[in-house]
Amino acid sequence: MLNKLSNTIYYLSNQDNNERPTLGLVCGDSYSLIIDSGNSPQHAKDFLLEIEKLNVPPVKYVVITHAHWDHFLGMNEFDATVIVNSQTNEIIKEWQSFSYDDRSLKSYVNTNQMSAMCMNIIQTDMPNRNSFKLKSPDVIFEKTLTIDLGNKVCILEKIKSTHSEDSTVIYIPDEKVVFLGDCAYGTTTNSLFHFKQSLLLPMIKDILKYNAEMFLLGHESICDSTEMDIYWRELTRSSQVVKSSSLEDALECFIVENKRDPNNNELFFIKAFVNDHIIQS
């Protein structure tokens, strides 16, 4: 079932058990725009069935927030203009060259081109896929793009991100809503989960320049500005005490600077920033 954020914005909540991220729908007077196409054709079909229950203008655009498989593998199901930034497009090109039969999928997992989770979702949600080919995006932008849906403007921007190098956010000014995709999360490199420390403050600056009151995230669904402020403070506070790959030094620094032990979130973030130092070294 779609969640109604306002008279013109809806979203399908994330489902962590089967790696389905939040999908968004923004409606203008003339057209509608979708944010992320889902982790499989079945995910996209489920979303489209929910949209059909609403009396909204036709879907003209689909925006992909970044080129991680769970956000774009449903792309073929939409009869709409698919929009990506240029870096996302380059990554999707690799997936367009893939074959999706079982043997090929297993080879991609073995060579770390695809996760085992991705393979399992594809095998479950795409039973007839031997001839499947991912289609090409239709519109490629570099830094920013503004879409007018009819008295409803959506601002697309490629921003710095601790999650991926190709992150796009979508801001709807009159609603004070921003779709962040996964940009505010960390990432995993060499089996280590980490936040890219050098990009943390530039990313927060990029996001906070928008006058947003509600934030749609890929794997939390929705947060208000108070929740996001807490998240930014905990991330920043944790980052400030990590200056090397020593967890012990970071924890000692945190206690000295804050006169308390870190809470569970802060401890998780501190470990992630320490991992970033380990990876960088």
d(CA 239, CA 262): 12
Which fold does the domain 3-98+134-225 belong to in CATH? Answer: Metallo-beta-lactamase; Chain A (3.60.15)
- Euclidean distance between CA atoms 179 and 156, whole angstroms: 10
The full set of domain ranges for the chain reads 3-98+134-225, 241-280
Query: How far is residue 252's CA from residue 171's CA, in Å, rounded to a whole number?
Result: 39
From first to last of its 281 residues, the chain has per-residue pLDDT tens of 899 999 999 999 999 999 999 999 999 999 999 999 999 999 999 999 999 999 999 999 999 999 999 999 999 999 999 999 999 999 999 999 999 999 999 999 999 999 999 999 999 999 989 999 999 999 999 999 999 999 999 999 999 999 999 999 999 999 999 999 999 999 999 999 999 999 999 999 999 999 999 999 999 989 999 999 999 999 999 999 999 999 999 999 999 999 999 999 999 999 999 999 999 98
User: 23, 47 in Cβ contact below 8 A?
Assistant: yes
